[in-house]
A and B are shown apart, each in its own frame.
Chain A
Amino acid sequence: MAERRVRVETKVGLHARPAALFVQAATRTPLDVTVAKPGKDPVNAKSILSVLGLDAQQGEEIVIEAEGDGADALLDELAGLVTEKSA
């Protein structure tokens, strides 16, 4: 099980366009991917409604987990999407 713990840098948090890009990236792979706030129950990273329901704001930490071939590359991509300051 691979894991990344990142701080959300996007201005609107994990909402709106960043959330859509995040879910689209997760959906492109066959892997099981979850996202959670630290210490909270993880949710399916391919579910836009679950991801929005996390309500992760700018400056908050999230934990992304994935399992299987290519998990590390996927996690890097997902982490990149929420740490791009410009988005």
Chain B
Amino acid sequence: MPDALRGTGVSPGVAAGPVRSISGTVPEPPAGERHAGDAAAEGARALAALEAVGLDLDERGARAGGEARDVLAAQAMMARDPGLADLVVSKIDDGVSAPRAVYEAFGVFRATLAGAGEYMAARVADLDDIRDRVVAVLLGVPAPGVPDSDEPFVLVARDLAPADTALLDPAKVLAFVTRDGGPTSHTAILARAMGVPAVVACSGCMDLPDGTVVLVDGASGEVHPDPADEEIATARAAAEARAAALDAATGPGATADGHRIPLLANVGGPKDVEAALARGAEGVGLFRTEFLFLGRTTAPSEEEQEAAYRAVLEAFPSVVVRTLDAGADKPLAFLPPPGDEPNPALGERGLRLFQNYPEVLTGQLRALARAAEGLDVELNVMAPMVADAAETRDFVAACRAAGLPRVGIMIEIPSAALRAADLATEADFFSLGTNDLAQYTFAADRQIGALARFQDAWQPALLDLVAMAAEAAAEVGKSCGVCGEAAGDPALACVLTGLGVTSLSMSAPSLPHVRAALAAHTLDQCRHAAEAARQATDAVGARTAARAELPSL
């Protein structure tokens, strides 16, 4: 059997099946390629191909609906652009073949857009996709996109955009493997939501020929081409054993020796409540409130906010709400545009935004207090992006003024973890956001696929910061949860427990896996795993060392 490929496992589970790839490699028509001489016919052929792609994009948008419809409609407009068509026809009149003329005409607009600022540079990828589709029609080769297949398959791609996956049939996808992307990429989030295994940052995966059977392990990140039947059987048996363990593990989260770790769900709005309840969430550890604010031209009224908050608060005994986390990368249309921030991750985002717009925060806090009135729920409110004690004090004061009793902060900036002892005396609880904490600790933008390895929550430096925050909270008898993606990794969940974390909040599909992993190990085993992981010098070493202490994983 050929060597296994290794990437970053971002959604646990095991699956085996044939590869179907989104190749995205429509060949470039050779420079200097000429048509046979009938410019009128060649021009008509090119225009028909542009229109066909425009129609196809419109159709795909109509079928997908929602946000994808607008994205695809804008792309259809580009395919039907009269300026583009004029340029194509004029090149064909000069004797250039239709595919080459299309390729070159797109190139002209591509250069203009690539030079027109950061926002437009992102549209260049869209333009390349449209160009490839038109060239594919002219060459009679398959267009890039999610392949049609009658049998279930392992989807392999460079990376997946929302437009690629809008029409994906969940029943057909056994697993995802992508060359780019990180633990917070669209692929990873989609895979966890679907409950299928996924491996990202897997270099070499694009070389796997279509139809090759691969065994994908979404926990270890390994992708085995051409696995022997016994290996598939072994992996399936292991997966079934895990599934059985999942079924066996029910009830509140606890280690084998009864140390309680409440298992909570991350939710992005009332729509996520059902899945969280179905997977046995004991409460909500992270209620993101951006859904109410993003994409709005006027701020949501306090009444509208109250109703949305209440829909979540009435479903659980305990809910942690994160106040609005917006910034230059997630701008709010109803506020003046942020200043030019070359690095939005380091800009006026999260709690910092409210320095300028305190009324947005106070309105949200009032709506939260009213939403909880008369409900039997423990409402916890926390702020994102807190850097120091002064910010903590200000936020706590604002919450107290609104009548909110339990006020916490997210620890996602290294300064907050380093001085956690100062902050623990001000706030009622901590919640560690491991995704942003990794981004800021390693100075590695989480949106940049090439830096994905720095998003790995197993990095010992990150584990050290988690330990500092958890110890500082314990020192004064306060709780310290984790609500980043790390909490949903079963082995890492045991390590976090060993580091002193007091609750774990994750996307709903991860809950049974983490519940089973905790139930299979004692608190002492978790502590040993945590010590072993912190003694390693890198993420791979930490994961290996911890797993050696966790025999049931």
Contacts and interface: CB of A to CB of B under 8 A. Distances in A.
Interface string A23-61: 110000000000000000001101111101111011000
B123 A87 contact: no
Given A20-B73, A86-B298, A47 B84 contact: yes
Interface string B270-305: 000000000000000000000000000110000000
Contacts of A58: 337
A49 B337 contact: no
Contact of A15 (B81, B84, B119): B119
Contact of B116 (A16, A55, A86): A55
Most buried by A among B73, B81, B109: B81
The interface residues of chain B, by DSSP majority, are classed as helix
Given A47-B84, A86-B297, A52 B123 contact: yes
A48 to B, nearest CB: 5
A49 B333 contact: no
A58 B84 CA distance: 26
Interface string A44-85: 101111101111011000000000000000000000000000
B52 interface: no
B78 to A, nearest CB: 6
Contact of B113 (A11, A43, A49, A87): A49
B297 A49 contact: no
B120 A55 contact: yes
Contact of A49 (B70, B81, B119): B81
Interface residues of A, number: 23
Contact of B70 (A17, A46, A87): A17
B112 interface: yes
Contacts of A87: 297
Given A15-B119, A55-B116, A43 B333 contact: no
Interface in B115-168: 116-117, 119-120, 123, 127
Pick from A12, A50, A53, A55 the residue with the most CB of B within 10 Å: A53
Nearest to B109: A49
A46 B112 CA distance: 17
B84 A49 contact: yes
A33 B81 CA distance: 14
A20 B333 CA distance: 18
Contacts of B74: 16, 20, 48
A25 B44 CA distance: 26
A62 to B, nearest CB: 14
A57 B339 CA distance: 13
Contact of A47 (B70, B81, B116): B81
Contacts of A53: 109, 112-113, 116, 120
A50 B112 CA distance: 9
B241 interface: no
B149 to A, nearest CB: 33
Given A15-B119, A20-B73, A23-B77, A50 B83 contact: yes
B331 interface: yes
B66 to A, nearest CB: 15
B82 A46 contact: yes
Contacts of A17: 70
A11 B84 contact: no
B78 A48 contact: yes
A66 to B, nearest CB: 15
Nearest to B298: A86
Nearest to A58: B337
B389 to A, nearest CB: 35
A44 B119 CA distance: 21
Interface of B: 70, 73-74, 77-78, 81-84, 109, 112-113, 116-117, 119-120, 123, 127, 297-298, 331, 333, 337
11 contacts: A11-B331, A11-B333, A15-B119, A15-B120, A20-B74, A46-B83, A47-B83, A57-B117, A86-B298, A86-B333, A87-B297
Given A12-B119, A15-B119, A23-B77, 14 more contacts: A15-B120, A20-B73, A24-B77, A44-B83, A49-B81, A49-B84, A49-B113, A52-B123, A53-B112, A53-B113, A55-B116, A55-B120, A86-B297, A86-B298
Interface of A: 11-12, 15-17, 20, 23-24, 43-44, 46-50, 52-55, 57-58, 86-87
